[in-house]
Structure 1
Amino acid sequence: MAGAAVLLVLVVALLPSPYAIEQPGPVYDTLGSAGAGKDRAPLITIEGEKTYPTSGRLDLLTVSVLGTAQGGPSWLDLAEAWIDPQKAVIPLEAVFPRGETQQQADRESAAQMTGSQQSAIAAALSRLGDDVGGTVTVGTVQRGSAAAGRLEEGDVVTSFDGEAITDSCSLQNAVLEHGARPATVVVRRDGATRSVRVVPKRVPDGSGGTRPLLGVATTAKIDPPFTVDLRIDDVGGPSAGMMFALGIVDRLTPGSLTGGRHVAGTGTICGDGEVGAIGGIVQKMAAARAAGATLFLAPEENCGEVVGHIPSGLDVVPVSTLSGAIETLEKVRDQGSARALPTCAAQVGSPG
């Protein structure tokens, strides 16, 4: 009887769970190269415009997710993750909304990365005085989502509830700010302009709450005055945007933004330079410190998750815009430390 009970416990422990595990992923220096052998190439390549030598590092961070649209890791894996401070256990639906296939999830993640790269280029060049324009096109519509039956693949989104849309990030932020209320989405479809009524649906956000979602994957296209190519393989999502933008600015301006320091950071970015919240901030801070970074730029909106989880030896400074991030780097470079700069503890009213 005891043996059967032990066997039953082991079987249950190995069953897939309805959760996913977030853990620190690979780190990439936007000022450096990635890949191996003949495939090794710079993360940022600029042609048709003068660039400048720089120094230091501007690392973008990633989070590895254990779990798929078909099921989460085993309960045994979860038990190990729950006691590991560098890992986080989140509902599987926060990563893979109900009804979404793995193929759809992969396509959406890749589209988010492509969109974030376009936004990074737009934000960086706009900061330097260039006009890049921008259009946002619907790539896929998730089955059962708010957009299903209303938006179509190929629709060019021009506005959301009266707000002009010029990149994928501005659409995402417009939906988040609007919430799960009826909204008018204006699109160009088959050469005609149409107004579509959509009610965003709330889905789990991974932190116990929910967020409004349209349920579309979009692609953004800009028209910069010269060529900027961003390369990063096998990484999805929008959280690399700010660090790519900083890397572009550093390459296009004399001197070094970092002053030779090892800097890391994370955050979405819109074409207007607004920096947004991301997931897995605790895991990314751990990865940054493990890679040798001493300064970390965090989205101001993530401050509540930052406080109490900062690794020893890492200074974390909150930022809300690309201009603010650049000013932070310049102050640290010129002053020699981040001691006089704002902290997340001050932002959320915590001591220290």
Structure 2
Amino acid sequence: MPRRTATMLASTLMLIALLCAGVFIPVPYSEMSPGPTVNTLGEHGGEPVLQISGRKTYATSGHLNMTTVRVTSADYKMNLVEAVYGWLAHDNKVVPHDTLYPDGKTEEQSNQENAEEFSQSQESAKVAALKELGVPVESWVIVSTVVKDSPAEGRLHAGDVIKAVDGTAVKAPADVAKLVTKHKPGQNVVFTIVPAKEQAAAEKQHRTATRTKNVTITTAASDDSGEKRAIVGISAGTDHTFPFTVDIKLADVGGPSAGLMFALGIYDKLTPGSLTGGAFVAGTGTIDDAGKVGPIGGIEMKTVGARDKGARYFLTPADNCSAAAKDTPGGLTLVKVNTIGDALAALKDIRTGKTSDLPKCTAKG
């Protein structure tokens, strides 16, 4: 066989071998890509995304779209060819697998966490919107979760209202940990609670729950490195009572990043006129009860998804601005927001045509 032919054959076989290796050898990466966007003012799956009863609502127009990111599943084994293709694809992003699923988190665990964050974001969106409107919202501290095999298991339950710890009134979730950690591991701590069932019954009857009981729990030591803290094995959160019903109907979505757009949608439906003036506005961002907007992941994917859907303006958390501005999709204006108040001011500029006044994102933030 001529040397040239042999060399070409060897090169071809080597290329085939490398391609086969690339297809069959898994790499520790996952992929993110633009996901669906949904108009919070419109319908999804045949029913309104925001359903409000017990309060007058108003007609809306335009779009206030929340945005999402698609990610590969926790058990998906990406190969080298797919990773290289993802790195080269402009609208996709390949990231280390542990970025999306840290500490070996399973698909089920990730979905559960996302569902919990999504539920909490809905509650905070309602509170932020109603506070901005001056509508009073009653809030209290509750037991959010109880850790299995912890001292609190069987003693406290999710939904119990925490009125006091060791006789000291609890006003915020952080108060619970502060009061518990005043103890040493092995000491008793006394929780004054309204049981979850009593609270639920009171809410159903539109009355204030008054029956409380004391629960004594022996603290355990934390598994932290270094000095051990006293713990009981719960996480505390906040629950609310609203003066009317606000339901958010959106399945197959998780995480906290739709909070801002839900809050704006609720605000729009409860006020005369249109916040957008008919414009197509999309956005993202977590929101807390006070209306502060927080950063999210996958900003580059969300701006691409919004642009592809037809958005002209994108409400961007201030902490995401520099990353988003590095590769802004053509035709999309990135608007910097820190609070729901900032977002409402920006929407006023958009609907009145004062777009030159918008606080735009730059590569510096």
TM-score interval, normalised by the smaller of the two chains? 0.7 to 0.9
Distance 1:151 1:19, change over 3 A: farther
Identity score, percent: 37
Task: Kindly indicate whether residue 273 of structure 2 is the aligned counterpart of residue 273 of structure 1.
Answer: no
Shift of 1:4: 7.3
Task: Kindly indicate whether residue 100 of structure 2 is the aligned counterpart of residue 83 of structure 1.
Answer: no
Task: Kindly indicate whether residue 40 of structure 2 is the aligned counterpart of residue 18 of structure 1.
Answer: no
Higher-Rg structure is 2
SS in 2 for 1:131: coil
2:206 is aligned to none
Shift of 1:7: 3.7
**1:34 aligned to 38, 44, 50, which one?**
44
Task: Kindly indicate whether residue 358 of structure 2 is the aligned counterpart of residue 341 of structure 1.
Answer: yes
Distance 1:330 1:306, change over 3 A: same
Separation in 1, partners of 2:267, 2:16? 59
Separation in 1, partners of 2:23, 2:314? 37
User: Given the two structures, how large is their TM-score scaled by the length of structure 1?
Assistant: 0.76
**1:284 aligned to 291, 302, 320, which one?**
302
Q: What does residue range 222-233 of structure 1 map to in structure 2 within 5 Å? A: 222-233=240-251
**2:269 aligned to 228, 245, 251, which one?**
251
Separation in 2, partners of 1:79, 1:217? 42
Distance 1:151 1:8, change over 3 A: farther
The answer to whether the 8 A contact 1:298-1:316 is kept is yes
**1:108 aligned to 108, 113, 131, which one?**
113
The one-letter amino acid paired with 1:87 is N
Shift of 1:3: 3.9
- In structure 2, the gaps of 5 or more residues are 1-9, 165-169, 184-188, 196-213, 226-233
- In structure 1, the gaps of 5 or more residues are 176-182, 202-215
After superposition, what is the alpha-carbon deviation per residue over 1:206-225, rounded to whole angstroms, capped at 9, x for unaligned? xxxxxxxxxx9987632111
2:211 is aligned to none
1:178 is aligned to none
User: Given the two structures, how large is their TM-score scaled by the length of structure 2?
Assistant: 0.74
Q: What does residue range 186-335 of structure 1 map to in structure 2 within 5 Å? A: 192=215, 221-334=239-352
The one-letter amino acid paired with 1:293 is A
The one-letter amino acid paired with 2:128 is A
The answer to whether the 8 A contact 1:140-1:218 is kept is no
Task: Kindly indicate whether residue 125 of structure 2 is the aligned counterpart of residue 120 of structure 1.
Answer: yes
SS in 2 for 1:222: strand
Separation in 2, partners of 1:91, 1:150? 37
Distance 1:188 1:117, change over 3 A: farther
The answer to whether the 8 A contact 2:59-2:272 is kept is yes
Separation in 1, partners of 2:224, 2:69? 27
The answer to whether the 8 A contact 1:18-1:71 is kept is no
After superposition, what is the alpha-carbon deviation per residue over 1:167-216, rounded to whole angstroms, capped at 9, x for unaligned? xxx99xxx9xxxxxxx8899878854878886999xxxxxxxxxxxxxx9
Separation in 1, partners of 2:290, 2:77? 37
SS in 2 for 1:98: helix
Report which stretch shifted further, 80-89 or 282-291.
80-89
Task: Kindly indicate whether residue 144 of structure 2 is the aligned counterpart of residue 138 of structure 1.
Answer: yes
Separation in 2, partners of 1:305, 1:60? 19
